[in-house]
Amino acid sequence: MKALILTAGFFAISWMAQAQNLFFRTYGAPGHFNQAADIVQGIENGFLIAGSTGGWGSENGDMVVIRTDSLGNQEWWKVYGTSYAEKAIDLIALNDGNYLLGGQTNRSENGDYDLYLVKLNSAGDTLWTKQFGTTAWDLFEGVTELSNGNLVMTSTSYDLPFPNGGILNICTDADGEELWRGVLPMGDQQLAGGIVSTAEDTIYVGGSAFNPDNSSMDFLLVKLDANGTVIWTKLVGTTEEDHLTDVCLGSGALIGACGYTMQTETAKQGKLYQFDAQGNTPFFAQTTSGEQFANSFSAIRYNAPDNTMIVASVFKDGTVDRAALFRYTTDFQFLCSFVFPGIQNSESNAVLAVEDGNILCGTDLEFSPGQTSIFVNRAAFDCSTVNLQLSAKNRMDNQIMVDVYPNPSQGQFSFVSPVKFDRIDIRDITGRTVEFKLITDAGTSTVELQSTATGIYIMTMFGSQGQILTTRKLVIE
């Protein structure tokens, strides 16, 4: 899996699903760059969150793993890397009860990137580290474990004979010792996108490759056996640039794939394909205006409890990117979407379908240039409900008394709080977020909305556990 969806608090409005927010948490080194990469379910119903950080003693950027309990409370964090720059991409739970953290490092003789693996025990202690690569840039994209404990990585390599990109797969044993490697026979211009394996040790590598039939990049899915022998390759797409970003095992023998089409140099459209074991594509979907425009699909997971597909996305809200979830049937019929508010820009990186049917997701939120935090949210959302509601878990019977003045105003509001708030979320009457702000202390704070249109707005104040402490109506004249 490639990334994570971590998000902010929740209204369900007419075109969205109702979300029951089970927890909302912020992680990372304050004042530094922090990026989400992946989430896995750990022992005792807790979670391990993988990402990258520029803080916590990191010199040039390191991998980080954060352990939480089932409610998202942080139990420990540990940083992994060298004096060079490392970036986490993938985290998987292994059959022996340990974990494998995968990414890339520029600790090489010529400064190019190599693949970097760290095996961890359940306490986060390092069991071993391994580095793999070529004499050129090698960018890690994912790893999967076979039934015998062997590990298979996929990456984009810019080594000869494919200086414009080739998909390099490397297999190791359980101790990280290399067994075989191979580049897919798809010609120059290949980009890796993800990897999964079945219980029978069939390997599926997803990515993008140049298709001479339409002179454009297309979705690529390759089926291999446990020795890396290619069984078949499939290219699907349009006459525009199509890029696959993630793959997952679906129901039965189906493989789900997500990504996007470049409609213009800057505009993307989310795309989904379903492949069967022979490489046929019985189901296909793309976002439409009715589903909200998805800038890109970044991660896909099969949710077994309700037999649906959950897709992580970036939703374009004017000039601001916001993290989003989309739910589809297994034949890719659109069910509902849920867009999370963010600060300036938020980007969905990964999604985890938990055994109880809840969805855990992780997002990067930018607070100021160069400063981002990892946001994680565990939620359940019901596509059959389209009423504007607040989650009962977020509603308090005795709301905190907060003075807001002047109200009405021309867009500048001050409020005095007797307790510390974690953040505020201000929305218009359609449910669109117009302001999102962190609150660091109790006392007086100010919100500037002078550029916002006149009308009625709802300000919601959240506590550190994600609970709603109070709501206030704001009027701009």
The yes-or-no verdict on residue 108 having pLDDT over 90 is no
Residue ranges of domains in the chain: 11-387, 395-476
Average pLDDT score over residue span 78-98: 93
| Mean of pLDDT values over 166-181 | 97
- Residue 395 pLDDT > 50: no
Joined together, the tokens standing for residue 361 give 């997701």
What are the strands of the beta sheet with 74-80, ordered from one edge? 34-41, 47-53, 62-68, 74-80
Q: What are the distances in angstroms from CA 152 to CA 10, 135, 155?
A: 39, 20, 10
Coil, strand or helix: which one is 134?
coil
CATH class of the region 11-387: mainly beta
What pLDDT sits at residue 367? 47
The pLDDT-based confidence of 314 (bands split at 50, 70, 90) is confident
Confidence band of 397 (pLDDT split at 50, 70, 90): very low
Give pTM, 2 decimals: 0.76
Q: What is the mean pLDDT of the chain?
A: 78
Lowest mean pLDDT among 16-25, 101-110, 127-136: 16-25
Percent of the chain topping pLDDT 70: 71
Q: What is the pLDDT of residue 437?
A: 72
Q: What would the pLDDT profile of 17-26 be if each residue is shown by its tens digit?
A: 445 556 667 7
Measured in whole angstroms, how far is the alpha carbon of residue 299 from the centre of its chain?
6
Is 313 in contact with 260 (CB distance < 8 Å)? Answer: no
Per-residue pLDDT tens digits for 61-79: 899 999 988 888 889 999 9
**CB-CB contact of 271 with 297 (8 Å):** yes
306 versus 387: the higher-pLDDT residue is: 306
Rounded to whole angstroms, the Cα distance separating 159 from 33 reads 30
CA–centroid distance for 3 within its chain:
4
Predicted pLDDT at 109: 65
Q: Do the two domains 11-387 and 395-476 of this chain adopt the same fold?
A: no
For the cut 60, the answer to whether the pLDDT of residue 16 exceeds it is no
Q: Please name the fold of domain 395-476.
A: Immunoglobulin-like (2.60.40)
Beta strands in 135-240 (DSSP E): 138-145, 151-157, 166-172, 178-183, 190-197, 203-211, 216-224, 230-236
pLDDT at position 385 over 80: no
Among 160-164, 176-180, 321-325, 397-401, name the one with the lowest average pLDDT.
397-401
CB atoms within 10 A of CB 464: 13
Residue that the structure tokens 């509601």 belong to: 389
